Amino acid sequence: MESLTQRQVFVLGTGPVAQSSAAAFADLGFDSYVGTLDEELPQWARPEITVVCDGQVATTQQLEKFVAETGTYLVPSLDACSITRTREGIRRTAAEELGLPTMAYEFANSVGELAGCAEAVGYPCVVKPSISAGGCGHTVVHGPDDLDAAWQRARETNPEGAVAVERYVDFDYEVTIITARSVDPETGQLATWFCEPIGTRHEAGRLVEAWQPAPLSEAAMDNARSIAARITGRIGAQGVYSIELFVDGDEVYFSDVNPRPSPDGMVTLATQRIDQFDLHARAVAGLPIDVTLMTPGAACYVAGKAHSGEALVRALTVEETTIHVLEETTVVRSTAEDVQQARVQAERAAHFLS
């Protein structure tokens, strides 16, 4: 058997998230490198594992060809990439194949169809692009007069695929369950681990805040983990999944799944013994998993990455606070003895960067 230092991992993606994923594999002794399929691989590159860090960096057909040519082990699998590439694929798998509880939904391929879908779902509703991240392109629609603008916004975010129309309900919480699938060292079989729930808040469809742990009732926690286990079991690949859910009392509804580290999970870099990037690397490699929460924490997401030195000084004077620049977003993370205090600290630091 090859030693870990001889094994190569190709992280398919660009930007800081891909770099963080590659670093997590390197920490485990893998030779890791970052790139896209549009770039020519180095002559020495023979990736044993290819990790898709960005769901839009390659089409399913491109991935299929790459796997056939190289024999690489793809994470997530081709089937998982296909299912999770669009909102329609995810929702139909969850609701129609698995019978998971979801909001009423329809899919529209034209602005004309959008009106009929909205009537079928009922107002208010949420219009979402086929593919988006962090809530980009989402619009809450209160009546027919809002549909044209909602369609335009969804298409500006992603011009391809069917636009989703979902029933809007004012829930108690939006939460994300970071779920890891790896090999249980005691049984040698695939098993599932659940991180403590992450509460999230969006404004105008954009993720602006996350905190961990989010308070759920025992019944809601059981329902959330059941949904997470069923959707990850269907997708089947090893690695980390971000399962987005709506919580209303003890009732939990499936919203979305992302089979890789996500913006919501950036808070784990402050709160968990093993953060989402290291969990993903461990899970892909079939190594033991540890989802221990070390401290309550919160994160605020500030648009932009160019901040003055004075702003950085002020932000970093807030106790137990760090910042992390991700392309066009700055993540401000704080820890404290309880979640509420961590949220206050993160918000205070983020204010200096806004």
Distance CA 42, CA 40 (A): 6
Map residue 265 onto helix, strand or coil: helix
What is the CATH number for 37?
3.40.50
Q: CB of 3 within 8 A of CB of 314?
A: no
Task: Using CA atoms of 279, 284, 285, 289 in order, give the dihedral in degrees to the nearest 10.
Answer: 30
Distance CA 121, CA 303 (A): 32
What is the CATH number for 131?
3.30.1490.20
Distance CA 252, CA 219 (A): 9
**Total domains in the fold of the chain:** 3
Q: 217 and 198: one domain?
A: yes
The amino acid at residue 93 is T
Joined together, the tokens standing for residue 27 give 């920490």
Task: Report if residue 193 sits inside a domain.
Answer: yes
Q: 190 and 241: one domain?
A: yes
Largest CA distance in the chain: 64
* pLDDT score for 4: 42
Handedness of CA 338, 343, 344, 350 (dihedral sign): positive
CA 112 vs CA 22, 117, 125, 153, 271: distances in Å: 44, 9, 16, 15, 46
For residue 40, with 0-12 CB atoms within 10 Å meaning exposed, 13-18 middle and 19 or more buried, which class applies? exposed
| Cα–Cα–Cα angle for 352, 201, 238, rounded to 5 degrees | 110
CB neighbour list of residue 245: distance below 8 Å, 6 or more residues apart: 174, 175, 176, 177, 224, 227, 228, 252, 253, 254, 255
CA of residue 147 relative to chain centroid, distance: 27
Write down which residue in 121, 139, 167 finishes a domain: 167
Task: Report if residue 124 sits inside a domain.
Answer: yes
Q: 177 and 159: one domain?
A: no
Q: CB of 323 within 8 A of CB of 310?
A: no
φ, ψ for residue 4 (rounded to 5)? -60, -35
pLDDT along the chain (354 residues), means of 10: 61 92 96 86 78 88 92 93 91 96 95 95 94 78 95 90 91 95 94 98 90 97 98 92 96 95 96 98 96 99 89 96 90 98 98 92
* pLDDT score for 5: 42
Q: 148 and 177: one domain?
A: no
* pLDDT score for 130: 86
* pLDDT score for 307: 86
* pLDDT score for 335: 99
Q: 124 and 214: one domain?
A: no
* pLDDT score for 2: 39
Q: 47 and 144: one domain?
A: no
Q: 66 and 190: one domain?
A: no
CA 215 vs CA 198, 209, 267, 345, 346: distances in Å: 9, 15, 16, 19, 18
Domain that holds residue 276: 173-352
Place of tokens 């060292």: 185
Write down which residue in 57, 75, 93 finishes a domain: 75
* pLDDT score for 262: 93
